[in-house]
Amino acid sequence: MKAKVIISDIIRRQIIDYIRTLLEDIAEVISLSDWRSIGSLQIIRDADALIPLHERIDENLLSEARRLKIVARLGVGYDRIDVEACTKRRIYVTHTPNVLSNAVAELTFALMLCLSRRMIEADRYVRTEWAKAGRPTLPLREDLAGKTLGIIGLGRIGTEVARRAKAFKMRIVYYDKVRRKNVEEELGAEYLSIDELLSTSDFVSIHVPLTPETTLLIGEKELRRMKKTAYLINTSRGLVIDEKALCRALEEHWIAGAGLDVFSREPLPLDSPLVKMKNVVLTPHMGTHTVETRRLMASMVAEEIRRVLTGKAPLNLVPEQRGIRFN
Ligand code: GLV
């Protein structure tokens, strides 16, 4: 009998089909919605592998999944997976680092450019007013060259952002739990305390995983430290920022604006104050949403599942499980 792999049905159909093709010789891949419902839990009971996107994998779900050998997340962040509970049950947890760093770094720059050159407003202007005005009437905007980019979290994605910042001729400063001497040497990035970074940067971009330590890392105190002319970019997790404090900061102009791909609640409710603000650019948690990146992530996920189902150790275990062998 073939193994059973359950995949989140929020994942795009073409990616589910691709994973299905990659695993078809050894597994049946079933796409499933609402993993908490009684019907879904009954199906999860027979699963050998799970591929979650945003689904929460906790003790409750794991206690039903008696055959489960691996949770292979399509994505790098694994804040919705209870790794400790998986480890206790000898279930591997893997993720897809590296292959998505370019895509997220590109989106980070897209948000920065949208803010510095007001691209959204400019597009609307061409469609409605430019011809009537007869000459350009939009105010002059800002260069990225010469500005300071403060990167909070100089890991894989933060480093790709720094590489692009160098090409854009920006000054790069960063804060991280650990010094990244190699990146300092490669890109001339300067290490600062988080307070110094906030008070000197023209753009602050967040690239940390969501952990108890980083939850609400940026609150009122931090936002008030930023320059009035500075922009905040977040492509990591919404809960790293105190969103209520951010809304006040944007409404009362403590900062100039924000580019946000992630939110404390997703999808972002239409009655969120952010929706009406002019000084923000909003995208729907789409850092990794490119054809190339999603296919690479899908291949990684399929490879990890194949390895575990054929008795090999997975390659990209989450840090808490590194070096562990269950099968
Ligand atoms: C996206 O949010 C990811 O975790 O890869």
Nearest alpha carbon to residue 165 among 88, 109, 111, 225: 109
Provide DSSP, 24-46: TTTEEEEEES-TTSHHHHHHHTT
Q: Clarify whether 237 is annotated catalytic.
A: yes
What tokens were used for 199? 């008070």
Does position 298 have pLDDT exceeding 90, yes or no? yes
- 77 Cβ below 6 A of ligand 1: yes
Tell me if 151 sits within 8 A of 173, measured CB to CB: yes
Question: Which residue among 186, 266, 292, 320 is the active-site one?
Answer: 266
pTM of structure: 0.97
Task: Quote the mean pLDDT of the chain.
Answer: 97
Does position 327 have pLDDT exceeding 90, yes or no? no
pLDDT digits (tens, 9 = 90+) for 167-216: 999 999 999 999 999 999 999 999 999 999 999 999 999 999 999 999 99
* Pairing verdict, β 27-32 and 49-51: unpaired
User: Which residue, judged by its Cα, is nearest atom 3 of ligand 1?
Assistant: 75
The residues, ordered by sequence, that sit 6+ positions from 288 with a Cβ below 8 Å of its Cβ are 75, 100, 103, 104, 294, 297
Confidence of residue 136 (pLDDT cuts 50, 70, 90): confident
Report the pLDDT averaged over residues 294-304.
98
Alpha carbons within 13 A on the beta-carbon side of 46: 13
User: Which residue, judged by its Cα, is nearest atom 5 of ligand 1?
Assistant: 75
3-class DSSP string for 201-245: CCEEEECCCCCCCCCCCECHHHHHHCCCCCEEEECCCHHHECHHH
pLDDT digits (tens, 9 = 90+) for 8-38: 999 999 999 999 999 999 999 999 999 999 9
Report the pLDDT averaged over residues 85-109.
98
